[in-house]
Homo-oligomer: A and B are copies of this chain.
């Protein structure tokens, strides 16, 4: 076949894949926003039908044939086309190893598990969710074996979210964090500085919090014409296209900071997706490259910007406007200290910047243990509670605030968590690099962060999935070194807690 025709077919394949991903993503988005609960079974039927085509597009004979022919002509392809073909081939090889019936069954399992988890969390009833979680773990282990029977299953899973990551690198990374952060956390606990955040736990009407979200999204430069915000139990970001990205949040009347930082976090994910290069728009490369890089962006905005002193000054101005009574007597120092209180807590997404990594480490250790077979799913709640006690010294009152708190496992994401900590570390190193050319603090203080975002767009966002995460990171920051992260945290919390 002529190269021109092959490329046309490739474009068509990518357009179809994108369309089905949009349709199935939409059904998911609806399931956690507008859908009535009782529609889950019907949605499952719909997803099963669509999944057949999704499978065919990923792993069908036609796709394999087309990609083989394109690979033969590799030398004649543009860099973007070549990368796209390689990525599709990788997916083809992996997916065709999964029997179609198992693939469809898994999609239906996830659809059901999402609902079961939701109810289980509300009722703090791990037992009702356990059989689903066990199936999800087992399916992931089985699939990992299909992908690469020579590799440890958990390494295969880690690699799916962050190409090149494995338990060896994770163990090393977490041990470096542990070494630096555990003494720091202990020092913070013993500090006589005890900041107050009670003023953040008063009543903040939800309709006013929605106005705060609008302001935050404007501050971040999120184009509302292409980025909408919804409300869900657990905040997340879902991109359908660079012209249509959704973020969600959860408003708690008596915990204003919860949605505040969810919006900034998800907004960071959204910025990445909204600013991939137009050249990649209709290819399989038009989305963020890995979970680690994605989390580096979301946590950069959430913590480095959002929990930094200059932003807190701006934020206070807005809060005084929206909640004048609540902010009466609150100073910049008080707000900055309040949003940076470090103390053992139960909920990962509400954990402070310093103890956060411990929450991630715990999940990493538990996932790894279940996948490696040294822990059963039914033992998870107990093991979870024991580790929380061991690392943070607190008791888990119920599974809703323990093992059931995150949506990742019910969504089939096993091996995802380490990327959160890795992303935080990536972000700190990016900050150091950014500071070489931009006065970051002054820029934030001015209220115009566009030069910072432009830098990230140029170094990270626009590249979409053109490069593997490790080389992408190195091209902008040099070799990865978690010391940047531990130094950043040490500086920040030493000052905050007068250590």
Q: Does A152 contact B (CB under 8 A)?
A: no
Given A45-B15, A46-B18, A49-B15: A27 touches B38 (CB 8 Å cut-off):
no
Q: How far is the CA of A446 from the CA of B18 in the complex (A)?
A: 54
CB closest residue in chain B, given A207: B207
Per-residue CB proximity of A15-35 to B under 8 Å, as 1/0?
A: 110111011101101100111
Size class of the A contact interface (CB-based, 8 Å): 35 or more
A41 contacts which chain B residues (CB < 8 A)? Answer: 243
Q: How far is the CA of A50 from the CA of B39 in the complex (A)?
A: 22
Per-residue CB proximity of A209-227 to B under 8 Å, as 1/0?
A: 0000000000000011111
Q: How far is the CA of A49 from the CA of B223 in the complex (A)?
A: 27
| A23–B36 CB distance below 8 A | no
Set B16, B30, B243: member contacting A30, Cβ < 8 A:
B30
CB closest residue in chain B, given A30: B26
Q: Does A203 contact B (CB under 8 A)?
A: no
A45 to chain B, nearest CB (A): 7
Set B23, B30, B42, B243: member contacting A38, Cβ < 8 A:
B243
Q: How far is the CA of A24 from the CA of B49 in the complex (A)?
A: 13
A50 to chain B, nearest CB (A): 6
Q: Does A376 contact B (CB under 8 A)?
A: no
| A35–B228 CB distance below 8 A | yes
Q: Does A53 contact B (CB under 8 A)?
A: yes
| A22–B38 CB distance below 8 A | no
Given A23-B50, A45-B19: A241 touches B39 (CB 8 Å cut-off):
yes
Set B19, B22, B39, B224: member contacting A244, Cβ < 8 A:
B39
Q: How far is the CA of A42 from the CA of B26 in the complex (A)?
A: 13
Given A15-B49, A23-B26, A30-B30: A241 touches B36 (CB 8 Å cut-off):
no
| B225–A19 CB distance below 8 A | no
Given A27-B26, A29-B30, A34-B29: A42 touches B244 (CB 8 Å cut-off):
yes
CB closest residue in chain B, given A244: B39
| A19–B33 CB distance below 8 A | no
Set B39, B43, B53, B240: member contacting A39, Cβ < 8 A:
B240
A223 contacts which chain B residues (CB < 8 A)? Answer: 38
A36 contacts which chain B residues (CB < 8 A)? Answer: 224-228, 244-246
Most B C-beta atoms less than 10 A away, residue of A36, A230, A245, A246: A36
CB closest residue in chain B, given A27: B26
Set B23, B35, B53, B224: member contacting A46, Cβ < 8 A:
B23
Q: Does A169 contact B (CB under 8 A)?
A: no
Set B207, B226, B228: member contacting A34, Cβ < 8 A:
B228
Q: Does A179 contact B (CB under 8 A)?
A: no
CB closest residue in chain B, given A47: B19
A206 to chain B, nearest CB (A): 9
A48 contacts which chain B residues (CB < 8 A)? Answer: 19
Q: How far is the CA of A35 from the CA of B241 in the complex (A)?
A: 12
Q: A interface vs B, CB < 8 Å? A: 15-16, 18-20, 22-24, 26-27, 29-30, 33-39, 41-43, 45-46, 48-50, 53, 207, 223-228, 230, 240-241, 243-246
Q: List 8 A-B contacts (CB under 8 A).
A: A15-B45, A23-B23, A29-B30, A30-B30, A35-B244, A38-B226, A53-B53, A207-B207
